Amino acid sequence: MKKFASLLLLIITTLPCMAQYGRVAGSGFADEHNLYYGIRLGWALGAISSDVQGVEAGTLRSGLHLGGVVGIQLSSEHPVYLESGLSYVEKGGKGDLKGMKHTYSLKYLLLPVVVKYRYELDDAFSIQPFLGGYLATGIGGKIRNYAELESRSAFSGEDFRRFDGGLRLGCGFEYQIMYAEACFDFGLANISRNDFDSSHTRCLYFNLGVNF
């Protein structure tokens, strides 16, 4: 809980400084009209795809997503934006092998980088499809085997690597300063420590937030 509170404080205090720096340093078109920052809070639904039956966890597991973003317009003539930031997300999944239930709770610090197109329907409402990728590092996690009443760390043993990365696609909706989005992370990095196995994260997000 202390780590989570520290992360939340870091995100909230850092974003305004980043946005202000962008306004000051970004001479040319990078002024206050095409640079924004925001806060995101939502629901993450995770699963793990694997070629190993005992590792596969295809049933969605819900978790928290919390983060902040900074975006900047790439061209003064077109509504195309580059957006990045930092977020905390709880991925994982649920599996079942011959009646033996197992769950994964994988906690990450995640850095997304996406390109957005802002399509304005009127002065207040816009639709913002986006495509890009993400990098993540595991900061904690648990594997629970309910059949054997066993619980162990997900990253410190021989189960999963901490590094994750992949593709991200989604769409956002903005009304004045209010923002909502749905997006999907398709993990490309093999998180299995066994080089002969293949395991990948999958995660669906539903986020709410504000843009400033």
Average pLDDT over residues 54-61: 92
CA atoms within 13 A on the CB side of 203: 33
CB contact at 8 A, 140 and 170: no
pLDDT higher than 60, residue 32: no
CB contact at 8 A, 186 and 166: yes
pLDDT tens profile 58-95: 999 999 999 999 999 998 899 999 999 999 999 999 99
Percent above pLDDT 70 for the chain: 84
Q: How many Å apart are CA 31 and CA 192, to the nearest integer?
A: 44
CB contact at 8 A, 180 and 199: no
What is this structure's pTM? 0.83
Q: What pLDDT is attached to residue 10?
A: 53
Average pLDDT over residues 30-50: 87
pLDDT tens profile 153-193: 999 888 999 999 999 999 999 999 999 999 999 999 999 99
CB atoms within 10 A of CB 79: 15
CB contact at 8 A, 40 and 208: yes
Average pLDDT over residues 103-114: 97
The average confidence (pLDDT) of the chain is: 87
Give the gyration radius of the chain's Cα atoms: 19
Q: What pLDDT is attached to residue 22?
A: 45
Q: How many Å apart are CA 30 and CA 154, to the nearest integer?
A: 42
Q: What pLDDT is attached to residue 149?
A: 82
Q: Predicted confidence band at 14 (pLDDT cuts at 50, 70, 90)?
A: low
Q: What pLDDT is attached to residue 29?
A: 35
pLDDT tens profile 198-211: 999 999 999 999 99
Cβ partners under 8 Å of residue 17, min gap 6: none
Considering only residues 130 and 14, tell me which one the structure prediction assigns the higher pLDDT.
130
CB contact at 8 A, 168 and 126: no
Please report the sign of the dihedral spanned by the C-alpha atoms of residue 100, residue 101, residue 106, residue 112. Answer: positive
